[in-house]
Structure 1
Amino acid sequence: MPSHDHLADTTPQSGTLSEAGNSSIMSQPVKAVDTAFPSPDTATPFSELEKSVQMAEWCSVIGELFYPIAPTDFERYQRPDTVEDKHINYDIARLTVSFSREPPQPWTSYIHPEGGRYFRWEHDLFTVYTDAHLFNPEVLQAVQQFVDQVDGYLTRHDITEVSFDAENVDLVLDVTLSKSNRTICGYYFAYHPNRTVFWLDEFESSERLWRDINGVASQDHILHEIQSQYWHHCALFPSPGCASQVVIEELRDIILHAIGELPDSLVSTTSTVSYSMEELRGMLQLLPSKSRDFNDDSGPGVSRIIYILMKHFAHDRFLHFYGEPVARLNRGTSIYDKNKVHKCSFLFHVLKFLLFAAPSAYLHEIESMLSDGLLSRVVWRDFVDKICKDWSHLTVYSTVLINVDVAFLSIQSIDAGPTSSPLKIAVYLSVISSLGSIFFALLFLRCNNTRLNISTDEAAKIMNSYQDTSCRYENIAILYSLPYALLMWGILFFVAAFMILCLWKTPPVTLVLSSMAWVALGSLVIFYGWVNCTGARQWLLSIREDLKMHRLLVK
């Protein structure tokens, strides 16, 4: 997410009500020299040209210092505030039993379960939330003026789409400093009756909330993103109200259904659920059996967890086009053009045969895992765990093969031969291939062992970084197949060396028996390739059909 300065520079132009959804992009910290905000009317003066350009680019219908943000744009985790790195002498006065500060009226102060402080004010038209440090008089004055501006706009305009009152509507103000040290204010509204967020300005949701998701056009579909944003808002400000029993039971039903839909369950083998059985059971254990009263502020921690889970499930529904005609019902299924077939590059086909068809297997697995660029947490962990185990086994096999090669070279009759003999060259190549297999396996293990528990967003970014417009995931599929392919080449070189030993200058009986054994083994290998390699079989069958057609034409 661009910084709030950038958002302010790109505020939409009109003031119609609009709805939008969730965002997984984080904003950057605002550059500031201190944490005290100058009030809007005493801000650093702009030149006439700068002022006109700024107002033309990011003037909101509320005022020139406002710009709309999504709840996921809220800059709680990117604050530039710091404390002085030195010891401060502080003496506690005698008989001091209270250490709390009374917030300025009419504000109420709350501490988020994570530790951040925020403030709440029940205004006549809405309930205001902000992270701004209202104990600072200058900051308090700036926030008060922003609230007055919103109040004034709503008073002057007859808005019938939303019923404004403190119980139904929340107004969130994200007060920051611009690059010019000017106080600016990001804002959004939350509407509790239907769990949505909205703005007084037009909001460029398709660019700022789901830029990487194509085909989003239905309002029913967008509703899932709006609700995901709503739950994120609730998680930002969980006090004073706690999650209702209705929300808890709704979440419990979602989790229980997800458990039944897991790929290893009896209900579905290709579920789109992105959590493991252990994670879902852990979620169930977190849910309270009975909700607290709405006015009881003693449970913000559990409520925040509930809101975060509701947000994630709502966002998943949006990603899988829940309720749409093209809803993704099976993992690995694309909702876009299903008839579009991507042809692999010529180089990939060449390397596929040189690497014993291993790239094809990896490419199919990666593309199924990253259908439409989406990645499931469960599938990602299973994939990383599987390939790491495979590479660990390959290092053992390669080590055994190197020991066999060295023992083979230590045979007196072979060791006494010239260094340039075909037998020794084949053994040397076998050792080099095995060392290459160990090298790449250890390299990939080092890279992927640390990726087992990363987030799905990070994993998708890593995998998509290997993607090329022309060859998709072919590059990473080729790389991942190197440990296996190099081990196979090491085995083939050792087999070649052993064949030379068996067939080169040997007695006739030994030559005949060895040749028969090698022919039988080779036939079995060819039969295996014929049965398992569908592509090669179809290619040979097509050649045979072409030859038949050619003969018919000649006749």
Structure 2
Amino acid sequence: MSDISESSIPGQTSISKGSPASEGDSSEIPRTAIDSGTADAHRPDAAPPALKLTPISPESFQRYTRYRTLTKRRTSYVVPPLSRSFSREPPTQWTAQPHPEGGLYFIHEQQRIHIFTDAYLYDKAIHAQITSAVDQLLAREEMQSLSSTDSGQIDIVLDLMEESPDNDECGYYLVDHSARVIFWLEEFDISTLEIWSFVPGIESPSHAKLCLEVEYWSHCEYFPAAMPITPEMLDELRDIIIYGIGDTMTSATTTQALLTDHLFRMLTLAKEMGEPVTKTDSTVKMRHGSIAVFARFMKEFARERFYNFYGEKTARLNSDESVYGSIAERSYILAWVSPLLFNYPLRHLRTVEVANMDQLIKYASWQKLITALSSEWQDVVLYGTLVLNTNVGFLSIPASAASVPGRVASYASVSFGLGSIILGIMLLSQYRLESPDVPEVTAAAKFFQDHGESAHGLETLSVVLSLPYALMIWALITFILAFLITIFETSSAPMRGVISAIVITVFLAIVGFVWTEKPFMWTHNLGVMRKKIQSTGAWMWSNDLSRRTKQEDEKQGPTFTV
């Protein structure tokens, strides 16, 4: 591909001498402040070799992975007399801009083309590399075509792969604010993006565009000076938040990732963003801190739209439904183990599956899950302590010493109670919410990653989560058994009859209550086993029927239809 002189690209000028764009007829290239004869302390001494331009995305931008350090030593700084300005002069035609978070980036504006970089341009070698990369990009034939067809603002972002004089590669991406997408001058496989890997089954261009919109808002968050805000954009954000609040307040299966109180706080900030602004020419002049927060909010909502197939045929409308129609098969092991643990594994398994629907973790579902489990484990620790105290008191009764089976049952109750308390405390310490005010799902991601790798990993997890409560129930049962054994061994016949009547009455009342309240929980395992047996029998019967039909057809000969 031949290089194009930059004089043919409207609104673009060369940034340095000796770049690829300046080769050939120099009369076609307008002179700029950098190319003028004035000396510049920041100007590179010699043009660096051409860099390899690599397409990247905002998610691979190295702002948070490039660690810059300095030497820990004592320094001094003498302030000259009458000094009141302490600003540092950036390279010509570049503007140094600190991010509200504290990071430093640089901006170069050329009418419609705005260039951004995190590279430390106060370093001559790095400045020379960025200058070379800019000249290479602006000299591309695709940039000429872009300039002749687009009239909106276009951003170019450059990211040196290494901040060293020997670096020979520079990442880049372009931004179209009118379309809210990032793009490149060559093909780019967006399936290599991390966010894309979370959502299998993407087929439509409109869904792929949502992925690029997430990256667009990341760019605006990184470079708030790049984004022009309009009143319509502020209204759009408020409308999204208001709908999210209404949905979380009225729907138990909302697809919103955040809780209602978080959305209310976001709405408060969104309203505050519009207060100190001044409107000029259909745009809103906002401070960079507000713009960065605005972009971060929009990124969160764009990401959720991408995850939920927003605007697609198979859009997710309920958080407990899979867009892939997949129904997890329960294993035979769970069907047998769950009754021994009073069907708590099945209940926890469904809750865990909803929180991890389609392997997409939502903070709202995660917090509800952990809050419910934490409350359950706290109750278990309390009840287990009461069971231990009751057993200690029971074993101190002289009558219990005469019953060996009663003591054995009481010892078993103590063991179950201790196991329940220990497991409850361990699970509480491991899965406690660090900061309920900050919607962080890193712990949730690790939670499901550690247990969801195997085919039945979540089943194993559900068994572990239900162990504290199930062991506590077994502790109660074995204590009741120890009490009854001791009573029946040490009491008279009339006393046994009275106790038996009372025990049977209480037992029937408990069973009736449980059966009435949760019949599904008690019949689910039997239903699973029955379905598996029926499906196996139906498969065998269909095979046998097809075999006999084939044999009869062979005896009758071929059949023709006129």
CA drift of 1:93 comes to 1.0
Q: Distance in 2 between matches of 1:504 and 1:535?
A: 36
- Structure 2 equivalent of residue 76 of structure 1: 63
Does residue 258 of structure 2 align to residue 275 of structure 1?
yes
CA drift of 1:245 comes to 1.3
Deviations 1:82-136 (A, max 9, x none): 1110011221111111100121111112111011111111236621001111111
Does residue 304 of structure 2 align to residue 316 of structure 1?
yes
Task: Give matches, 1:120-199, under 5 Å.
Answer: 120-123=107-110, 126-154=113-141, 159=145, 163=149, 168-177=153-162, 181-199=166-184
Task: Rate the CA distance shift 1:227–1:39 in 2: closer, same or farther, 3 A.
Answer: farther
Unmatched segments (≥5 aa) in structure 2: 1-41, 534-562
Of residues 483, 495, 502, the one that matches 1:517 is 502
Q: Distance in 2 between matches of 1:281 and 1:188?
A: 35
SS in 2 for 1:109: strand
Greater gyration radius: 2
SS in 2 for 1:400: helix
- Structure 2 equivalent of residue 67 of structure 1: 54
Of residues 236, 257, 276, the one that matches 2:243 is 257
Contact 2:399 2:490 in 1 (8 A): no
Contact 1:120 1:127 in 2 (8 A): yes
Deviations 1:487-531 (A, max 9, x none): 111111111111112222532211222222222333334434544
Residue 470 of structure 1 aligns to which amino acid in structure 2?
A
Task: Rate the CA distance shift 1:134–1:276 in 2: closer, same or farther, 3 A.
Answer: same
Task: Rate the CA distance shift 1:143–1:247 in 2: closer, same or farther, 3 A.
Answer: same
Of residues 386, 406, 411, the one that matches 1:423 is 406
Of residues 219, 225, 238, the one that matches 1:233 is 219
- Structure 1 equivalent of residue 192 of structure 2: 207
- Structure 2 equivalent of residue 91 of structure 1: 78
Q: Distance in 1 between matches of 2:492 and 2:116?
A: 94
Residue 101 of structure 2 aligns to which amino acid in structure 1?
E
CA drift of 1:450 comes to 4.1
Task: Rate the CA distance shift 1:449–1:535 in 2: closer, same or farther, 3 A.
Answer: closer
Residue 113 of structure 2 aligns to which amino acid in structure 1?
F
Q: Distance in 2 between matches of 1:498 and 1:113?
A: 68
Of residues 87, 105, 126, the one that matches 2:92 is 105
Does residue 478 of structure 2 align to residue 490 of structure 1?
no
Of residues 461, 465, 469, the one that matches 2:454 is 469
- Structure 2 equivalent of residue 384 of structure 1: 370
- Structure 2 equivalent of residue 333 of structure 1: 321
SS in 2 for 1:449: coil
Structure with more relative contact order (C-alpha pairs < 8 Å, separation 6 or more): 1
Contact 2:399 2:486 in 1 (8 A): no
- Structure 1 equivalent of residue 421 of structure 2: 438
SS in 1 for 2:107: strand
Q: Distance in 1 between matches of 2:203 and 2:234?
A: 30
Q: Which moved more, 1:73-82 or 1:527-536?
A: 527-536
Q: How does the TM-score come out when normalised to structure 2?
A: 0.79
Q: Distance in 1 between matches of 2:335 and 2:376?
A: 23
Q: Distance in 2 between matches of 1:238 and 1:320?
A: 27
Contact 1:503 1:515 in 2 (8 A): no
Q: Which moved more, 1:280-289 or 1:312-321?
A: 280-289
Q: How does the TM-score come out when normalised to structure 1?
A: 0.80
Contact 2:156 2:172 in 1 (8 A): yes
Q: Distance in 1 between matches of 2:133 and 2:338?
A: 63
Q: Which moved more, 1:174-183 or 1:399-408?
A: 174-183
Residue 393 of structure 1 aligns to which amino acid in structure 2?
D
Deviations 1:302-321 (A, max 9, x none): 11101110111111101000
Contact 2:126 2:164 in 1 (8 A): no
Q: Distance in 2 between matches of 1:280 and 1:79?
A: 33
Task: Give matches, 1:35-50, under 5 Å.
Answer: none
SS in 2 for 1:470: coil
Task: Rate the CA distance shift 1:213–1:462 in 2: closer, same or farther, 3 A.
Answer: same
Task: Rate the CA distance shift 1:40–1:244 in 2: closer, same or farther, 3 A.
Answer: farther
Contact 1:39 1:139 in 2 (8 A): no
Q: Distance in 1 between matches of 2:312 and 2:47?
A: 49
Contact 1:40 1:142 in 2 (8 A): no
Task: Rate the CA distance shift 1:152–1:200 in 2: closer, same or farther, 3 A.
Answer: same
Task: Rate the CA distance shift 1:499–1:296 in 2: closer, same or farther, 3 A.
Answer: closer
Aligned length: 479
- Structure 1 equivalent of residue 332 of structure 2: 346
SS in 2 for 1:177: coil
Task: Rate the CA distance shift 1:255–1:298 in 2: closer, same or farther, 3 A.
Answer: closer
SS in 1 for 2:174: strand
Q: Distance in 1 between matches of 2:108 and 2:286?
A: 19
Q: Distance in 2 between matches of 1:503 and 1:427?
A: 15
- Structure 1 equivalent of residue 18 of structure 2: none
Deviations 1:408-445 (A, max 9, x none): 11112324x37xx1111111111111011100000011
Does residue 201 of structure 2 align to residue 218 of structure 1?
no
Q: Which moved more, 1:180-189 or 1:363-372?
A: 180-189
Deviations 1:280-339 (A, max 9, x none): 121122122354346887611011101110111111101000011110011111000x2x
Q: Distance in 1 between matches of 2:160 and 2:300?
A: 27
Q: Distance in 1 between matches of 2:134 and 2:343?
A: 65
Contact 2:126 2:165 in 1 (8 A): no
Deviations 1:147-179 (A, max 9, x none): 000011137x753698356x5100000113189
Q: Distance in 2 between matches of 1:218 and 1:446?
A: 44
Q: Which moved more, 1:450-459 or 1:475-484?
A: 450-459
Does residue 292 of structure 2 align to residue 300 of structure 1?
no
Does residue 268 of structure 2 align to residue 285 of structure 1?
yes
Residue 309 of structure 1 aligns to which amino acid in structure 2?
F
Contact 2:451 2:461 in 1 (8 A): yes
Task: Give matches, 1:442-457, under 5 Å.
Answer: 442-451=425-434, 453=436, 455-457=440-442
Q: Which moved more, 1:274-283 or 1:451-460?
A: 451-460
- Structure 2 equivalent of residue 410 of structure 1: 396
Task: Rate the CA distance shift 1:179–1:356 in 2: closer, same or farther, 3 A.
Answer: farther
Task: Rate the CA distance shift 1:537–1:110 in 2: closer, same or farther, 3 A.
Answer: closer
Task: Give matches, 1:17-32, under 5 Å.
Answer: none
SS in 2 for 1:75: coil
SS in 1 for 2:54: strand
Does residue 346 of structure 2 align to residue 355 of structure 1?
no
Q: Distance in 1 between matches of 2:48 and 2:95?
A: 26
CA drift of 1:404 comes to 0.8
Q: Distance in 2 between matches of 1:386 and 1:459?
A: 15
Residue 468 of structure 2 aligns to which amino acid in structure 1?
P
Task: Rate the CA distance shift 1:538–1:194 in 2: closer, same or farther, 3 A.
Answer: closer
CA drift of 1:539 comes to 6.7
CA drift of 1:347 comes to 2.1
Contact 1:274 1:377 in 2 (8 A): yes
Q: Distance in 1 between matches of 2:122 and 2:149?
A: 32
